[in-house]
Chain A
Amino acid sequence: MTRVTVYRVLVIAAAVLLLEGLCLAGIIDRLTMPPPHRILRDLAVILASGSQNAAIVKTLTNASIALALALVAGITSAVVLHGYRPVRETLEPLFATYYAVPIFAFYPLLIVIMGLGDAPQIAIGFMLGVVAVIVNTLNGLDRVPRVLRKSARIGRLNAIETALIVTLPHAAPYVLTGAKLAVAYSFIGVIGAEFIMSRGGMGYEISFAYTNFDNATMYPLILLILLVSIALNAALSRWEKALLKRRGQ
């Protein structure tokens, strides 16, 4: 372990201990937040009893579907857009302002159109993620050297083969940056949508537990979501770094 890692662990440990101390001393009262060791124990109980498994599976499935759709649609549209400059230039201002618009404001519309099933939640996760994938893939495709495109033409590859064999693999690190964002966004979208209005899922369970002052369910679920998203993000960052390193960057 390097010195920086040691410090990092120490900072996190200090923060948790501080929280623990504040909770035990009663400065943060029990109704507001149980001490961290209780949260961990409650999480173990919930996972062992399986009482929240349905909600966890539902949220993870929906987020995965949203992510898969965002990746497929995002990469495909980026490849197509890269070939049509005028269309791309027209859409560019939309991409630039897209994340400034509260996408959740469209959730009610989606519910009205798609009904209160899983579809509107997946749609929100998809809508949040897809533009990040498009923008980053376009960014990667812009950096493909001309010589590679020329070789593809010499090899008489058609447009689809060129994308699959030549340009997309070269753009892979950038696509991965987009994918990393899409993971976070699909999670945020699905859980947020469940939170606002839905009939199940982790976001729903958290807001249900909140309205019932059920801290023994609420805090462990929040912790679980935080752990999952941080772990996913760390794994993808590591992969991204490895890809970039292989290229000597």
Chain B
Amino acid sequence: MTGEKWRPARNAAVLIAALLLFWQLLYAFAGEAAIKPPLATFRYTATLITTDAFWVHLSESMRAFAAALAIAVAAGLTIGFWLGFHKLSGEVCEPMLVALYSIPKITLYPILLLAFGLGMPAKIAFGAIHGIIPVALFTINAVRNVRPILIKTGRVHGLGATEMARIILFPAALPEIFTGLRVGFSLTLIGTLLGEMFAAQRGLGYLLMTAIGLHNVDLIMAVTLLLFVFAAAASGTLLAVDRRLHART
């Protein structure tokens, strides 16, 4: 069954080739002033990542993202476990979370800026509010779908709320929770970058905005490419782990 085994890799290769071809065609259509061809972008990206300034922006973005993700995961899991386990609270709050999930969170950005001021805390908060709700919603469903017998066993042993979450609920609900973490990861990344695009003095989002201001097409293309590759690689890896976790049960 080697043919089956290699199919995902082959599909990915075909997809990447098709995307590059599309990019090249778009270049032929839109012209030098609008976009750069793939090869030129790769070359520019290669020189960009050797500059010190780039690493300053990158590390700033990564620090904001890490903090936002930590907050989103911690708060999301707490809310999720509570609402999933406590039936009444869950029924009361879940539709509100769904409604919050569907609003354009970008519009809340000025409020966060007024509350936190310009800079790191606002970025972190903006990333976190994107990630908290999906993590919470997936966790709620995961906890609800835990087989009742497992919870009864925990009760029989007289476990407290934290022990119940740690020993019984978390391991049983792990695959589904991981799906929530995967979605939360992507959304937190998007949120953090958006935050940087609107108001920051450092970070990849800021770099992108300055590039737009200066109409530096090389830089726009390079940063977009880097973000795309990073997001696709991270989410591809998480997706693979996710599938493995789900296959195990």
Contacts and interface: CB of A to CB of B under 8 A. Distances in A.
Contacts of B232: 97, 100-101
Contacts of A192: 104, 106, 194
Interface residues of A, number: 54
A210 B113 contact: yes
Tell me the dominant secondary structure on chain A's binding face.
helix
Interface stretch (A41-49, A88-96, A133-141, A161-169): A88-96
A145 interface: no
Given A8-B92, A31-B114, A93-B236, A233 B212 contact: no
Contacts of B209: 196
Contacts of A229: 102-104
B111 A99 contact: no
A188 interface: yes
B241 interface: no
Size category of the B interface is: 35 or more
Contacts of B231: 97, 100-102
Interface string A199-219: 000010011011000000011
Contacts of A184: 102-104
Given A33-B111, A101-B231, A233-B99, A203 B106 contact: yes
Contact of A97 (B105, B106, B212, B236): B236
A11 B92 CA distance: 8
A183 B102 CA distance: 9
Nearest to A15: B96
Nearest to A191: B104
B115 interface: yes
A84 interface: no
B217 A225 contact: no
B110 A112 contact: no
Given A90-B11, A92-B11, A229-B103, A109 B224 contact: yes
A147 interface: no
Nearest to A232: B102
B91 A4 contact: yes
B109 A106 contact: no
B20 to A, nearest CB: 13
Given A89-B7, A105-B228, A225-B107, A8 B190 contact: no
Contact of B107 (A92, A97, A191, A230): A191
A234 interface: yes
Contacts of A222: 107-108, 110-111
Given A99-B187, A180-B102, 7 more contacts: A7-B88, A31-B114, A96-B235, A100-B189, A195-B107, A203-B107, A225-B107
